[in-house]
Structure 1
Amino acid sequence: MKRLATVVLGAGLVFALAGCDAIQQAQQTADSVSSGVNTATVCVDAIRVAGFTPDSADPQAAVDKAKATGDELTALAAKAGDTTVNQAINDLATTMKATTVQDLASGPAAWLQRKADQVSALTKACSP
């Protein structure tokens, strides 16, 4: 009788552990899907924020807006579960935060091209 109880308990333990493994795998799958959804959401938000176009009529206000946009992008990068997406967002954020009145007054075409290249890299990183 004791032997039967031990076998039953042992079998129950094996099934419980197998169940835990299945639960763990399900949790990992759910986490992976959740991470993908989070990255997709971050991508949509980052591309929306990256749509910022400076107002040439008020260069200082444009610089202030670019820096605020850079801060917003940095916060989004911290939420990205994908390192490629994170890097693309951070590169764009760095450009935005480093924007000066000089960039917008004397070299707006170069600044806009750099930004466009980084938005393109972000869009590519966000594409599956």
Structure 2
Amino acid sequence: MNHLTKALLAAGVSLTLTACGAAAETAGQVGNAASTAAVCAEAVQIATANSDVTDPAAAADRAHKAADELTGLASRAANTTAAEAITKLATTYRETTAAELAATPAAWVREKTDQVAALTKACGG
């Protein structure tokens, strides 16, 4: 094999390896996007599942359970912005008290609604 043939063969192998690396990276990005989309959909479902605050103690218990579920989802989100939005929502749920729900239910629902909107925006970007 002459030098030109060796050089062309080496260039071809290098180009093939580069293309494989780019394809693997693209596949990883698509996988991360799909993973984040699934996590986001589940987070929105949890956050909007039951906003009934007529029984503040039961609503606070549901919020605390949702906080635990959301925390688990945040750790699975491939997108940092989405993970932060899920974590913020989980914190709001975790800090919810029956007294807060009894005193200012509309404010709590409004805050949760704003955070779900922020989550939806983070998941789309």
Which TM-score band (shorter chain)?
0.7 to 0.9
Preserved contact between residue 73 and residue 89 of structure 1 (Cα < 8 Å): yes
> Where do 5+ consecutive residues of structure 1 fail to align?
none
Preserved contact between residue 88 and residue 125 of structure 1 (Cα < 8 Å): yes
Distance 1:79 1:9 in 2: 46
Preserved contact between residue 36 and residue 77 of structure 2 (Cα < 8 Å): yes
TM-score (norm 1): 0.85
RMSD: 1.8
| Aligned match for 2:120, one of 120, 123, 126 | 123
Aligned to 1:73: 70
| Aligned match for 2:54, one of 41, 53, 56 | 56
Which structure has the bigger radius of gyration? 1
Task: List per-residue Cα deviations over 1:33-55 (Å, max 9, x = no partner).
Answer: 11111111111111101113144
Distance 2:61 2:95 in 1: 10
Aligned residues: 124
Please, which moves more after superposition, 7-16 or 111-120?
Answer: 7-16
TM-score (norm 2): 0.87
> Where do 5+ consecutive residues of structure 2 fail to align?
none
Please, which moves more after superposition, 74-83 or 8-17?
Answer: 8-17
Aligned to 2:107: 110
Preserved contact between residue 67 and residue 97 of structure 1 (Cα < 8 Å): yes
